[in-house]
A and B are shown apart, each in its own frame.
Chain A
Amino acid sequence: MTKKIKNLKEFSLSNDRYEGANLMCPGCSHNIIVREVLNATNDPVIVATATGCLEVCTAVYPKTSWDVSWIHIGFENAAVAIATAQAAYEVLKRKGRLPEATKKMLEEGREPKFVAFAGDGGTYDIGFQSLSGAFERGHNFMYVCLDNEVYANTGGQRSSSTPIGASTTTSPAGTVSYGEKMMKKSMVEIMSDHGAPYVAQVSPSKWKDLVKKVQKGFEVNGPVYINAQSACTTEWKHAPEDTIEVSDLGVESCVWPLYEIINERDEHGIIYNTKLNITYRPKNKIPVEEYLAAQPRFKHLFKPENRHIIDLWQKAVDTKWEHLQRREEAGV
C-alpha cells in the first residue's frame, strides 16, 4: 500500500528509521536522499549498502544510524547482496520459516522492501558487474545510486560518473589540463536497456518527484534503478547550506534531467512497450554555466583557455535534453 504524503513538514517528521545525526559531512545529499527513500513507504525496509561514505559514516561499531535491517559486504556487491536477501525471503516465505513478526506483517498484507544504496563508484565502476547480473536475472529489489560523480570516500578521485572538466584528485586541472576528459556514463539508459521495468533519475531538491518515483518503483515487481543526484560539499566544494540550491541548478539547467523509463514486460522479461516520461520541465532552462559556476570543482573552466569546455558541456546537455524530449514524444 502506498504511503500518503501531504506536505514536506509532515514528511520530514515521519522518519524514525534512519538517524541523520551521523558522521556524514554537513550538507551531504546522501543523508537527504536516504531519508526521502526510506520515508516513501511505511513497509519494513531491508537495506544493503556498498562501501562508501554512506557505509563508513552510518555504521561504525558499536553504533548505527539504521533502524532497519542493514548489510554491508563490500564495495562491489550491494546489488547481489540485496537481490539474494530478497531471494532468501521468497524461499523462507514459501517454506513457512520467516520470523514470527514477519509472518504477521504478511498477514496484514504488507511486504518488506529490499533496497540497495551505492555511490557512483559502487555502481558505474566496480559494482557494475554485480548490478548488471542482478538486473538481468530480474530480482525484485530497488537499487539507488547516490551519484556524487566522484570517489568522495577515498578523497575525491575520478570515477566513470565524473563529468567532463571536473577537477578531481586523479583528474586534476593544471597548467596544461582542464581536468576530466570524458563525459559521464549514461547509467539510466544502460540500466533501462537491461530490461528493468522501472528506471528513473531523481534529485533530492525535487522531493515530491523523488518520492513519487520511489513509490512507483516499490509497486513494481522486478529490479528498479534510481539514479539520484547527490551533491557533495567536500568534492563539489560548495557551501553546506547550498546543497539543495546547487542540486536545483542541475535540474533547472537540464544537466540533471528528471525522467523515468517504464519497460512494460511480462514475467519472462519480454518487453512489449517502453515509455519515457520527462517528469519535470524547467519553465526557463538556465545555462549550464550557472550550474558550473556554483561549484568550485569547475572553477578553472572559467579561464579563457578552458571556456570551450563549457561550450562542450552546454552542447552535451542540449543534445541529451533534445533526445529525451524526442523519446518522450515518440513514446519509445
Chain B
Amino acid sequence: MAKKYELNEVEVWDGNMAAAQALRQAQVDVVAAYPITPSTPIVQNYSQFLADGYVDGDFIMVESEHSAMSGCVAASAAGARAATATSSQGFALMVEVLYQASGMRLPIVLTVVNRALAAPLNVNGDHSDMYLGRDAGWINLCSYNPQEAYDLTLMAFKIGEDLDVRLPVMVHQDGFLCSHTAQNVRPLQDEVATEFVGDYKPVNSMLDVSNPVTHGVQTEEDWHFEHKARQHNDLMNSKKVIKRVFDEFKDLTGREYDFVYKYKMDDADIAIFALGTTVESAQVAADKMREEGIKAGVVSLRVLRPFPFEEVQKALSNIKAVAAMDRSAPGGTFGALFNEISAAMLAAGKSPVILNYIYGLGGRDTTIDHLVDIYRQLDECAKAGERKYPLQQFIGLRGPKLSFY
C-alpha cells in the first residue's frame, strides 16, 4: 500500500513534475521507461516516488524506448495499468509499437514532451514528434502549461480505460517551455484524484488462467479491414467519453476543458490557431490587438485525435482570416496543422483566409511581437477580404525571408 503524499493547495511544479504526480496518483502498476531529454524528469520523479514508498508498482528501466512501449503493451495486456513518457527520437523509436498498442486496444497513457527530431540533433521543443505519431490510432490530448499537463494526464486514464473506448492516450506538452517551467499548480488530494481516476478493470487479462486469451493475432485481407474500421469507429466515438470526463472534471475542480480551446472568439474577426505554449503568448498578443480595436482571438485544439471537425468549423465560422501556426518542419508541403484546419473548413463549405506560419523550430523563441505581426497581416487580409501574403511564411528565421506559394 502506497504512502499518502502530502500536497499543498497550490504546488509549484513544472510540467514534468505535474505529469509525474498524475502518474503517481493514478497508482500505475507498471511504468517501463527510457530516459530522454526533456521528458526524463517524469520518470526520475516517478522512480523517486517509488523509492520513497509513494507508489506501489514496478518501475522498469528498460534498454530502449522501443522496449518501453513494448513493456507497456505486454503489462497492459496482462491486466496492469501501464504508462510511460518520452520525447523526440525516443518517441520515433516507439512509433512501431504505438500502432500495436492501439490495435490491441490497450489503454496505456503516454506523456509526450514535444521536441524536435534530428537531424540536426536538437534537444529543444517543437511539435515534429507530435505529428510523427498522430495517426497511430491513439487519443491525443494537448496541454499548454503544467496545470493542464497534470489535469489531462489524470483524465487520460479515465478516458482510455472507459470500456466504450479502450484505447491508448497521449498527453502532449511543450519541451522545456512547459516541461521545465515551474508554475503554480492546484493538485487534487490523493484520495480525490484516485477516486476520480477509478480502479483499473482490465479486459482479457493474459493472467487469467481460467480463460487464456490471444493478443496480437495476424489478420489477412479477410479481416484486417474490419479490425481497422472498428478501431477508427471507436476512436471517433470516443468523443462522447472525452466530453463526459471533461464534464466530470469540471464538476470536481471547476476547471473547464473542451475539444477546442477558444480565447475571445465570440466576436473575433481574426484568429491565431496554435498549439502548446504559444497559445498563452497568442492571448497576450490578442489583448494588445484589442487595445487597438482589432477584434483578435485565439483558437487551439485540446483534442488532436479524434480531430474535432465540427468544433473547429464552428469556432472559425465567423472568422475572416486565421493563422495556422505550425511548430514543425513542413517537410515539403503545408504545415500539418494548416492541413488539418484547411480540411475542416473545406468540408464546412465556408472558409476564412488561412495563412500558414512556420515558427519556433528546435526551440527558437517566438515573441509577442512576432504574433502581433501575424495579427497585423491577418487584419489586412480580413479588411481586404482576400489573401494579401504568401500562403506559407517562416517567422523569426535568421537570414533571407522564406515564404512559399
Chain A residues packing against B (C-beta within 8 Å): 44, 46, 48, 55-56, 59-62, 64, 66-74, 76-77, 80-85, 87-92, 94-95, 97-102, 105, 112, 129-130, 132-133, 136-137
Contacts and interface: CB of A to CB of B under 8 A. Distances in A.
B75 A72 contact: no
Contacts of B223: 61-62
B213 A69 contact: yes
Q: Which 7 A-B pairs have the closest CB atoms?
A: A133-B63, A101-B210, A77-B70, A84-B71, A88-B80, A99-B208, A69-B206
A72 to B, nearest CB: 4
B214 interface: yes
Nearest to B62: A133
Contacts of A71: 73-74, 77, 206, 214-216
B349 interface: no
A69 B66 contact: no
Given A84-B32, A99-B79, A102-B208, A59 B70 contact: no
B207 A80 contact: no
B56 A64 contact: no
A80 B62 CA distance: 8
Contacts of B62: 80, 133, 137
Interface string B53-66: 00011101111101
A244 to B, nearest CB: 28
Among A68, A92, A94, A132, residue most surrounded by chain B Cβ atoms (within 10 Å): A92
Nearest to A110: B209
Interface residues of B, number: 45
Contacts of B206: 46, 69-71, 85
Nearest to B215: A71
Nearest to A82: B74
Contacts of B79: 88, 92, 97, 99
Interface string B22-39: 000000011010000000
Interface string B194-228: 00000000000111111111111111100100010
B29 A91 contact: yes
Nearest to A68: B212
B74 A74 contact: no
Given A71-B73, A84-B72, 14 more contacts: A48-B74, A59-B216, A60-B219, A64-B214, A69-B215, A71-B74, A73-B97, A73-B216, A76-B66, A81-B74, A88-B80, A99-B79, A99-B208, A130-B66
Contacts of A48: 74
A186 B78 CA distance: 33
A69 B211 CA distance: 8
A133 B64 contact: yes
B100 interface: yes
Contacts of A89: 78, 207
Given A69-B213, A72-B216, A130-B67, A91 B77 contact: no
A70 B212 contact: yes
A89 to B, nearest CB: 6
B96 interface: yes
Contact of A77 (B56, B75, B97, B219): B97
Given A73-B100, A133-B64, A84 B70 contact: yes
A55 B29 CA distance: 28
Contact of B214 (A66, A87, A97, A100): A66
Nearest to A99: B208
Contacts of A91: 29-30, 56-58, 80
B316 to A, nearest CB: 40
Contacts of A85: 74-75, 77-78, 206-207
A88 B30 contact: yes
A84 B75 contact: yes
B71 A59 contact: no
Interface string B73-109: 1110111101000000000000011001000000000
B208 A81 contact: no
Among B58, B63, B64, B82, residue most surrounded by chain A Cβ atoms (within 10 Å): B63
Contacts of A69: 206-209, 212-215
A73 B209 contact: no
A83 B30 CA distance: 12
Contacts of B209: 44, 69, 99, 101-102, 105, 112
A88 B29 contact: yes
A59 B214 contact: yes
Nearest to B223: A61
A22 to B, nearest CB: 12
28 contacts: A55-B218, A56-B218, A59-B217, A70-B206, A70-B213, A71-B74, A71-B216, A73-B97, A73-B100, A74-B97, A80-B62, A80-B71, A80-B74, A84-B71, A87-B60, A88-B30, A89-B78, A89-B207, A91-B58, A95-B29, A101-B209, A102-B208, A102-B209, A105-B209, A112-B207, A129-B63, A130-B63, A133-B64
